[in-house]
């Protein structure tokens, strides 16, 4: 028996190594995209058509949301009853007397040593009342977004230097436009690795159990964390909780879309270069595919999503319906010309094909039949641009988001 076990392990190891050595060759040729038919967001489960906003909100939207939970992102629990907020620091004269800086810890139980979130907040200190804010997650710790010695080092990102990602986070520009920035290190919620569950907020919950096929993956967990930050923002008198914008880049752009789809308190949802499992249509299978993303990042989605590896046409949903779940709230989708891995055309098409749902609310949706020219944003209730450059967040992106927020949030005040 011992000999048989050793042989089995050797064979298994060889198989794993052979699989890892197999090179993934992405398709970037539009002519090689397999034939597909997108699911219609306006067709009910019984085959009838949705023709009004009320039916969408009460019947069709819950159907589609349920399908995404079951087949793509997994199910998340609600807000813990024991959650509490501690304002660790408040400086109303930060950044050369241009900002209010707050650092808040969100605890989920009475145990301070358990999973918790450290939130960094910058607000303009010359505001005449509560301000709108961007609610975001960051990759390299709160200290990485700005060179500010007062910012606490994120415990799951201690190796990263202060201000090393400042080019992605133009805090002075955001503040000068009258908006605040709220950010949390995503590793506080779920460390981004296949075995990250043990160090994540998921350990606080018995349900959903980790082995259930529709249990929440890390994207759903990060989105859950953004909603818990919003719970705090609703208690902060300096913040207008009715004008909170959820924004994310790359895998955190996927997260922002799922957060905006789930939590209708978010006023605007912004996806920056989110690609497969984010804004890009899965059925196009161009650049990063469902099979590739599930292989390299097995923890991001629920286990059920793996059934659609190289089988995208069997998915009961596609990503245009994810954007549609945000209706009638505004959504902005951004791509980069050099980010072919994220399928910019597939991101544009998702925004385009979500438009019929917005029209149920007598809203414009995306005002473009064809992809706009590079560096030429288009914006109705759905906005889109493809900019010069690669997979990144730039000042061009932020300027577009600030203009979009002004269009929809300033006009309402």
Q: Catalytic residue numbers? A: 250, 391
Contacts (Cβ under 8 Å, ≥6 apart) of 192: 186, 218, 251, 299
Distance of CA 93 to the CA centre of its chain: 31
Q: Which of 104, 105, 106, 110 is nearest to 82 (CA)?
A: 110
* Alpha carbon distance 246, 223 (integer Å): 10
Contact (Cβ atoms closer than 8 angstroms) between residue 342 and residue 272: no
* Alpha carbon distance 106, 342 (integer Å): 33
Q: How many CA within 13 A on the CB side of residue 177? A: 22
Contacts (Cβ under 8 Å, ≥6 apart) of 5: none
* Alpha carbon distance 20, 363 (integer Å): 48
Q: Strand pairing of 116-124 and 180-185?
A: antiparallel
Exposed / middle / buried, residue 249 (Cβ in 10 Å: 0-12, 13-18, 19+): buried
Q: What is the CA radius of gyration of the chain?
A: 21
Encoded tokens for 112: 């301070």
The residues pairing with 99 across neighbouring beta strands, listed in sequence order, are 94, 124
Contacts (Cβ under 8 Å, ≥6 apart) of 33: 27, 284, 285, 286
Residue 265 to residues 65, 197, 326, Cα–Cα distance (Å) = 16, 27, 10
Q: Which of 176, 167, 317, 191 is nearest to 249 (CA)?
A: 167
* Alpha carbon distance 266, 243 (integer Å): 7
Q: How many CB atoms lie within 10 A of CB 23?
A: 4
Contact (Cβ atoms closer than 8 angstroms) between residue 68 and residue 217: no
* Alpha carbon distance 134, 244 (integer Å): 6
């Amino acid at each position: 028996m011992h000999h048989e076990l050793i042989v089995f392990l050797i064979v298994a190891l060889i198989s794993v190594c052979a699989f890892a050595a197999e090179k993934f060759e992405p398709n970037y040729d539009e002519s090689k995209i397999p034939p597909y038919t997108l699911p219609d967001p306006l067709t009910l489960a019984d085959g009838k058509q949705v023709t009004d906003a009320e039916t969408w909100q009460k019947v069709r939207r819950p159907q589609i949301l349920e399908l995404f939970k079951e087949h793509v992102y997994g199910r998340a629990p609600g807000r813990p009853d024991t959650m509490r907020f501690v304002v660790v620091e408040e400086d109303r004269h930060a950044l050369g007397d241009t900002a209010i800086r707050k650092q808040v810890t969100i605890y989920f139980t009475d145990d301070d040593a358990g999973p918790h979130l450290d939130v960094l907040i910058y607000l303009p200190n010359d505001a005449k009342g509560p301000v709108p804010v961007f609610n975001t997650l960051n990759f390299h710790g709160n200290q990485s977004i700005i060179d500010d010695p007062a910012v606490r080092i994120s415990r799951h990102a201690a190796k990263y230097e202060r201000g090393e990602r400042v080019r992605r986070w133009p805090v002075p520009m955001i503040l000068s436009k009258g908006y605040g920035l709220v950010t949390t290190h995503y590793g506080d919620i779920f460390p981004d690795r296949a075995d990250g569950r043990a160090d994540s907020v998921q350990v606080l919950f018995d349900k959903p159990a980790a082995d259930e096929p529709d249990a929440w993956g890390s994207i759903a967990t990060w989105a859950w964390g953004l909603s818990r930050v919003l719970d705090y923002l609703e208690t902060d008198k300096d913040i207008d909780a009715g004008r909170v914008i959820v924004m994310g880049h790359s895998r955190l752009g996927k997260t922002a879309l799922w957060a905006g789809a789930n939590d209708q308190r978010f006023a605007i949802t912004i996806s920056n270069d989110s690609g497969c499992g984010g804004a890009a249509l899965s059925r196009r299978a161009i650049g990063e595919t469902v099979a590739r993303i599930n292989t390299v990042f097995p923890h991001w989605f629920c286990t059920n999503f793996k059934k659609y590896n190289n089988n995208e046409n069997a998915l009961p949903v596609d990503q245009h319906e994810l954007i549609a779940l945000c209706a009638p709230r505004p959504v902005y989708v951004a791509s980069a010309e050099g980010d072919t891995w994220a399928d910019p055309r597939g991101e544009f098409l998702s925004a385009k094909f979500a438009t019929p749902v917005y029209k149920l609310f007598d809203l414009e949706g995306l005002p473009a039949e064809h992809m706009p020219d590079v560096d030429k944003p288009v914006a109705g209730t759905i906005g889109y641009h493809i900019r010069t450059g690669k997979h990144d967040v730039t000042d061009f992106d932020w300027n577009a988001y600030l203009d979009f927020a002004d269009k929809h949030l300033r006009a309402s005040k």
